[in-house]
Amino acid sequence: MADENSTAQDNATPEQLAKQFPCNENPFGVWYDIDGDSLNRWVTNNENGDSISDVASYEIATVIADALRVRHKMINNDCLILDAEQQKGINYALLIGLESFGELERINDEVGKYDLVPSLEKIPESIRPIHPTGANDTISAFAAALRYMQPV
């Protein structure tokens, strides 16, 4: 099995990753899709072994797989019981976060324009927005969380 530390994965070729993490239909499996989108090649399977998310990092894929595993276990043990109002509140909070993330991306894009035009004054680092995760697959985490909230 491959070393799960990101340094080893960062140095591996796509072919090596595909061999170490082959496509599979394992429940809650994580695998490397060598033929997938160049930014989102780590795939997570659901409880049926069907692929449900493509993300940029192994770490995010395993977090999604772990969360799905816990959710599945809790549902099977009747521990995850949210009434309609609770589900509505969680969905609302996730949508606020998603909209906020979109606004942050919009502002970052606008700030980036100032960096590209030499005649414009540079925006000081102290007032630039800080990306909450520093990862390009944050949107996938929102999508996965919203997916978890859908009825089984």
- Reported pTM: 0.51
Domain annotation covers residue 86: yes
**pLDDT tens string 116-140:** 888 888 888 888 877 776 667 777 7
Strands (DSSP E) found in the chain:
30-32, 42-45, 51-55
How many angstroms separate the CA atoms of 129 and 132, rounded? 9
Domain annotation covers residue 75: no
pLDDT of residue 151: 62
Q: By the 8 A CB rule, do 32 and 43 touch? A: yes
Residues spanned by the domain of 98: 82-151
φ, ψ at 50 (rounded to 5°): -90, 140
Q: By the 8 A CB rule, do 147 and 65 touch? A: no
Question: What is the tally of structural domains in the chain?
Answer: 1
Domain annotation covers residue 30: no
